[in-house]
Amino acid sequence: MNGGTMSEIWVYLSAQPLLWLTLTLAAYLLALALHRRAGGHPAINPVLISVALLVALLLLTDTPYPRYFDGAQFVHFLLGPTTVALAIPLHGQLKRLLSMAGPLTIALVVGSLTAALSAYAIAALMGASAPTLASLAPKSVTTPIAMGIAERLGGLASLTAVFVILTGIVGAIFASGLLARAGVRDEASVGFALGLASHGIGTARAFQLSEQTGAFAALAMGLNGLFTALTLPWILPMLAGLFN
């Protein structure tokens, strides 16, 4: 096969959703294999490695993101039914969750406000622009909620999605080591912290640790999404006043 036909085939395939869907799955399977080979080490995060591989490939082949997303949207769509599926591990832990309702509520309020307000305050003190600040504040909650909140606060939805995912990766990498060092090792607290600070990516990490840890993470993710959506649009303008 000569170079001419090779490039014709490439031009044809790279315009098809099939290619980018297949490559998304291939990048993920490769990242997953690396993660397993590293003994499940949190620094070898599957999302981080898949994204790095795909961004490199898209830049090398000069492929615009919207064309990539034409194929990848089928994977993206699964986020919805998978979020619904979190009800199953939650149901499995329901008795335990209900028996801890008081402490869980307090941990939710303390953790949620700490994550959102410290992100805003630190970036504001370091001179970040207003759209960046509004996009950063809701970064601990699950993507669709965070995008909605950021838009109400004057942020950029697609930038928020990037901050949300980076936050998820940071939390998934550091959570278990950091919490163990602080003396927190019980599944409920580790899971709840992961889901609260790092939404779905933290929850994915929590399920790698154990099903119980995952159930607490799923609960924290849902509760923090709800709590942040209801409180941040009111609290943040007050905080913004302090930095003006």
Partner 1 sequence: MIQAIALLLTFQLGGEALRAALHLPIPGPVIGMTLLLTWLVLKGGPGDALRNTSGTLLQHLSLMFVPAGTGVMLHAGRLTDEAWPIFIALIASTVLGLLAAGLTLHLLTRHRAGRTQ
Residues 182-241 that bind partner 1 (CB under 8 A): 182-184, 186, 188-190, 192-194, 196-198, 200-201, 203-204, 207, 214, 218, 220, 222, 225-226, 229-230
Contact 235, 117 (CB under 8 A): yes
Residue 19 touching partner 1 (CB under 8 A): no
Q: How far apart are CA 73 and CA 71, in angstroms?
A: 6
CA 158 to chain centre: 13
- Cβ 48 vs Cβ 162: under 8 Å: no
CB of 2 to partner 1, least distance (A): 32
Class of residue 14 by CB neighbours under 10 A (exposed 0-12, middle 13-18, buried 19+): middle
Q: CA–CA distance from 97 to each of 18, 165, 194, 215 (Å)?
A: 42, 27, 16, 9
Site for partner 1 contains 58 (CB under 8 A): yes
Could you say whether residue 118 binds partner 1 (CB under 8 A)?
yes
Residue among 9 and 103 whose Cβ is closer to partner 1: 103
> Residue 206 Cβ, how far from partner 1 at the closest point, in Å?
10
| Position 169, amino acid | I
Figure out which of the listed residues 42, 134, 140, 155 binds partner 1, where binding follows CB under 8 A.
Answer: 140
Q: Of 7 and 118, which has the nearer Cβ to partner 1? A: 118
179 is an interface residue for partner 1 by CB under 8 A: yes
